[in-house]
Amino acid sequence: MRADQQIHINGLLLQREELFVRVHDLETAAAAILGEPYPFTRPALPSDSKLKRKPTPRPSERSGGFQPPSAAARESLRRLEGRETAYRVTYRRFGQVVTEDHDDLDALRTLLASQGAHLTVTRVETIDLGARTKAVLLSETQG
């Protein structure tokens, strides 16, 4: 979020707080006139409504998109063995190809499970200390 957007939002939140204080003051004044608390009911607010999220569409084979790996593909991932020191993960995020090295298998499985329209894992391999590929665990062509 840009700084100017944050400043604008903060101003709106302060206005909201002022209005809540004003409502509280009016309710307190009404209770003082009556000599006892008045049973005010809270009105429905726009912020009470829950937004329904639309499901994220996944690319289909007909559109030429890559299908997320199946459960079997996720299970083909394994702990590092021998001289393997990390996993090299290549993925597409918002149209850009990103390659990162990770050493946590659980985090890698979480990444695979969170794929969607804007995140697609295309390759997972293990590497050694010299950053050389030791084994390919998942490849887009395997999907």
Mean pLDDT of the region 86-90: 92
What CA–CA distance (Å, rounded) separates 106 from 129? Answer: 21
The verdict on 41 and 89 lying in the same domain is no
Residue 106: pLDDT band by 50, 70, 90 thresholds? confident
Residue 62: pLDDT band by 50, 70, 90 thresholds? very low
The verdict on 88 and 134 lying in the same domain is yes
Q: Phi and psi for 137 in degrees, rounded to 5? A: -95, -30
The verdict on 38 and 75 lying in the same domain is no
* Residue 51 located in a structural domain: no
* Residue 66 located in a structural domain: no
The verdict on 78 and 136 lying in the same domain is yes
The pLDDT value recorded for residue 86 is: 92
The verdict on 93 and 39 lying in the same domain is no
* Residue 26 located in a structural domain: yes
The pLDDT value recorded for residue 14 is: 92
Per the structure, the complete domain to which residue 40 belongs is given by 3-45
* Residue 63 located in a structural domain: no
* Residue 39 located in a structural domain: yes
The verdict on 41 and 88 lying in the same domain is no
* Residue 55 located in a structural domain: no
Radius of gyration of the chain (CA): 27
- Number of domains into which the chain is organized: 2
What CA–CA distance (Å, rounded) separates 123 from 30? Answer: 67
What CA–CA distance (Å, rounded) separates 57 from 21? Answer: 43
